[in-house]
Structures are given as C-alpha cells and as structure tokens.
C-alpha cells in the first residue's frame, strides 16, 4: 500500500483523474484487431488493464482515506477535549486558571485547525466523487467536524464573557485568600520552628511522627500557594514576597525529608544523627 506520508490530496486528485481518463481510453479500444490473416481479441486485455487501473485507484483512495481519517480523528480529539474542559463550571480561582489555559490552547490551535478542516473535507469529497467508499464510517463523520468546531468557538466566546463578568468578585476572593494564606504560612513556620522534628530532646520516632504531620500541613499550604500565586498572575497582580518564601522553602523541605529518610536507614539506634540533621535544616 502507498505510504500516507508520501501522498497529498493534490497529487492523489491528479492521479485519480489520470486513471479515470485511462479507463475511458481502455474502454474505447476496439474489441479486436486484425493483423493480416490473424484476428486478435482484446477483450481480456481490456479487462486486465481496467482492473489494474481500478486497483491503483483503490490504493490511492486507501492512502488518502487513512491520512484524512487520521487528521480528522486528531481534530475531533482536540475539539472534544477542549469542549469538555470549557463546559466545566467556573467556581473558584483554580477553575479560572484552567479555563484561561484552555482558551489559550484553543487560540493557539485556531490556525492549524482551520488549515486542516478544509483539506479533510476535500479529501472525503474526492473519495466520494470517484466512488471510493470504505466501511470505517469516517466519511459519515466528517460532516460533523465543522459543526463541532463552530460549537467550540461559541463555547470559547461564552467562557470569555463569563470571565469578564466574574472578574471583580474573583479578584476580591483572591485578595482574601492571599491574606488568609499569609497568616497560615506564618503560623506554620512559627510552629515548625518551635515544635518541628528538630526540637531538642525528641527521640527518632517522635521526630519522624512530627515530620509526617508537618509534611501533610505543608502539602496543603503548597497547594494554596500555587492557587494564590497563579491567581495573582492571572489578574496581573504582583506576587507577594511572603508567598515566595514558602516557594524557596519547598526544595529545602523536600531535602530535609530525604535526609531524614537517609538518617533513619543509617542510624543504628536512638540518639543518632537524625536530630542533628533536623536541627541543621530547620526552617527559619
């Protein structure tokens, strides 16, 4: 079979027209030729040539169908995925961030989609014109491609209008969330400094338990930080320096967790190096 990568609609269109013309020329050949006293019957030759031309047409059609179907499936996959993302309700800052990311992806893909839909539709129209039909059902699906893309465009406009409408209230919610996060982060750092796993006098088991407890609380703070800082960027607000502090601490926290895990594996008993590791890596 022909390779999809080596074919294009224009080449196949010209090739199919040439083969169609060749079939017509074959059919116009006389049924027999007289050469002296010999009469040559051309019926079987005409039949063989016609079958060969039709096999070539089928091979070209198969290559075009496979390539057009692959392009169409990619488009449907993209449109369906973006449609699902943009149909989700916008209730908080994370939803705003996800919606804006989806809108950006649609905008960046717009030229590519518009440049692909036309050739896909033309490819299936060409196959239908030459009676090259396949049982994969893709020729029937192509009619819904433009419809799905237009529906997505309408959904994009709807989401843009929604974002404009909810921006004032979302911005107020963001400022409130940032203030709340700053208080939580300060309380966390203070508690860790006073009662963290590096507190003097703790056994290794107690230090490990405290580390796990602070890790769970830190993970929640990190999610809040991601949401708040992302919201500030979305609304064009400066990211507060206090928010950056926990960002810098994140790598330190993970390093502490890894080193404490190493200490557990290498400390032979209570009173080993675990406490000194925790003290050296204490958050300030």
**What per-residue confidence (pLDDT) applies to 240?**
63
CB atoms within 10 A of CB 143: 10
Picking from 120, 13, 107, the residue whose alpha carbon sits closest to that of residue 73 is 120
- Under the phi-then-psi rule, with left for phi > 0, alpha for psi from -120 to 50, and beta for the rest, what region is 235? alpha
85: exposed, middle or buried (C-beta count within 10 Å: 0-12, 13-18, 19+)? middle
The contacts of residue 68 (CB under 8 Å, 6+ apart) are 9, 119, 120, 123, 124, 127, 138, 142
pLDDT, mean of residues 217-221: 86
Helical spans, DSSP H, in 28-92 = 43-86
Average pLDDT score, the chain:
79
**What per-residue confidence (pLDDT) applies to 106?**
96
pTM: 0.64
8 pLDDT band (50/70/90 cuts)? low
User: Of residues 102 and 216, which shows the higher confidence score?
Assistant: 102
229 pLDDT band (50/70/90 cuts)? confident
**What per-residue confidence (pLDDT) applies to 149?**
95
CB atoms within 10 A of CB 192: 22
279 pLDDT band (50/70/90 cuts)? very low
């Amino acid at each position: 079979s022909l390779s999809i990568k080596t074919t294009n609609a224009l080449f196949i269109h010209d090739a199919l027209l040439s083969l169609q013309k060749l079939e017509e020329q074959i059919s116009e050949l006389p049924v027999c030729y007289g050469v002296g006293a010999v009469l040559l019957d051309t019926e079987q030759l005409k039949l063989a040539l016609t079958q060969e031309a039709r096999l070539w047409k089928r091979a070209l059609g198969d290559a075009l169908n496979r390539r057009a179907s692959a392009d169409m499936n990619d488009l449907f996959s993209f449109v369906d995925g973006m449609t699902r993302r943009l149909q989700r309700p916008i209730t908080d800052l994370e939803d705003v961030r996800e919606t804006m990311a989806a809108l950006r992806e649609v905008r960046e893909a717009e030229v590519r989609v518009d440049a692909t839909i036309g050739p896909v539709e033309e490819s299936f129209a060409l196959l239908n014109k030459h009676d090259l039909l396949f049982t994969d059902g893709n020729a029937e699906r192509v009619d819904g491609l433009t419809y799905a893309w237009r529906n997505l465009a309408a959904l994009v406009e709807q989401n843009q209008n929604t974002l404009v409408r909810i921006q004032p209230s979302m911005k107020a919610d963001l400022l409130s969330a940032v203030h709340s996060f700053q208080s939580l982060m300060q309380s966390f750092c203070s508690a860790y400094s006073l009662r963290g796993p590096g507190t003097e006098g703790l056994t290794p088991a107690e230090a490990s338990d405290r580390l796990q407890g602070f890790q769970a609380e830190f993970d929640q703070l990190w999610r809040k930080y991601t949401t708040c800082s992302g919201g500030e960027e979305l609304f064009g607000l400066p990211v507060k320096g206090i928010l950056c502090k926990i960002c810098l601490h994140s790598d330190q926290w993970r390093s502490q967790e890894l080193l404490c895990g190493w200490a557990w594996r290498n400390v032979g008993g209570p009173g080993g190096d675990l406490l000194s590791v925790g003290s050296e890596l204490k958050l300030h």
